[in-house]
A = this chain, B = another copy of it.
Amino acid sequence: MANENTKINIKLPEPSLRRLPWYLAYVKLLKDKGEEYVSSTQIAKDINVDASQIAKDLSFINISGKTRVGYEVNSLVEVLENFLGFTNVHKAFIFGVGSLGAALLQDSGLAQYGMNVVAGFDVKKELAGTMINGIPVYHISEFEQKQKELGANIGILTVPVERAQEATENMIAGGIKAIWNFTPFRIRVPKHIVVQNTSIYAHLAVMFNRLNNLKK
C-alpha cells in the first residue's frame, strides 16, 4: 500500500507508549532551558526510569542517539510530539456536562495535547444553548445533526454511571470511534471501538489504601 507510513505503523507495546509522554514532558523542560543533547542515563536519573528501558522505548520511534552526546533535544521533542499525536487535531465531543464533564470543558490543557473539544451534550434541557469556556453545549437530541456538521471521532464519557452503557451505544451509533471513559462503569463495546478508561476515582481508592497501610 503506497500511503503507508512506516513511522506510524510501528506497534509499540502499551507500557512503552505510556512512558513516552513522561520522556516528552522531561525533554521539553530541557529544551526550555536551552539544553542541546540528553543521554538516556541522564533522563533515567531525573525521572527514575531504568536507562536501558528508556533506550529501548525510544528505539521504537524514529530517532537515534549519537555516541557520547546522546539524543538531540529539539528533535526528540518534535519526534515524540508527532509520534504521540499531540501535534494533530483530534475533534472530540463531551457526553454529560455534569460536574466532571464541565470541569473537563474548562481544562484548556487538552487542546495543547491535540484534543479539540468542539461541543458538549447533555440530557438536561436547561444546559442546552449555554457555553462553557467558549465551547457550546447542546441537548443530546442534537448529537446526530452536530456530528454531521462537526465530524468528531472521539467521545468523552462523563455521564452518571446509570447512563454510561446507554450513552455509549448512542455515541457508537452516531459514529464515535474512540471513547474516553471517565465513569467507573465498565462499558461494553464492539471490537472495533477504542476504549480508554480513566477512572480517577479508582485511582483515589488505590491512594487511600496505600495511605492506610502507611499508618500502620
Chain A, 91-114, CB within 8 A of any chain B CB: 99-100, 102-104, 106-110, 113-114
> Which residues of B lie under 8 Å from residue A32 when comparing CB positions?
162
If A99-B106, A154-B211 touch, whether A14 touches B196 (CB-CB below 8 Å) is no
Cα distance, A32 to B110, chains bound together (Å): 34
In the complex, the answer to whether B24 meets A184 with C-beta atoms within 8 Å is: yes
Assess whether A68 is interfacial by the CB under 8 Å rule: no
Total copies of the chain: 2
In the complex, the answer to whether B100 meets A21 with C-beta atoms within 8 Å is: no
In the complex, the answer to whether A209 meets B17 with C-beta atoms within 8 Å is: yes
Cα distance, A38 to B9, chains bound together (Å): 44
In the complex, the answer to whether A107 meets B103 with C-beta atoms within 8 Å is: yes
| Cross-chain contact of A14 among B113, B161, B201, B206 (Cβ < 8 A) | B206
Cβ proximity bits A14-49 to B, threshold 8 Å, 1 near / 0 not: 100110111011101100100000000000001111
In the complex, the answer to whether B211 meets A178 with C-beta atoms within 8 Å is: yes
In the complex, the answer to whether A84 meets B20 with C-beta atoms within 8 Å is: no
In the complex, the answer to whether A203 meets B198 with C-beta atoms within 8 Å is: yes
Assess whether A205 is interfacial by the CB under 8 Å rule: yes
> Which residues of B lie under 8 Å from residue A104 when comparing CB positions?
103
In the complex, the answer to whether A21 meets B208 with C-beta atoms within 8 Å is: no
In the complex, the answer to whether B198 meets A200 with C-beta atoms within 8 Å is: yes
Cα distance, A214 to B191, chains bound together (Å): 11
Assess whether A126 is interfacial by the CB under 8 Å rule: no
In the complex, the answer to whether A99 meets B88 with C-beta atoms within 8 Å is: no
Cα distance, A104 to B206, chains bound together (Å): 18
Assess whether A125 is interfacial by the CB under 8 Å rule: no
In the complex formed, the residue of B with least CB distance to A179 is B207
In the complex, the answer to whether B198 meets A214 with C-beta atoms within 8 Å is: no
5 CB < 8 A contacts A-B: A20-B205, A47-B188, A85-B208, A194-B214, A196-B210
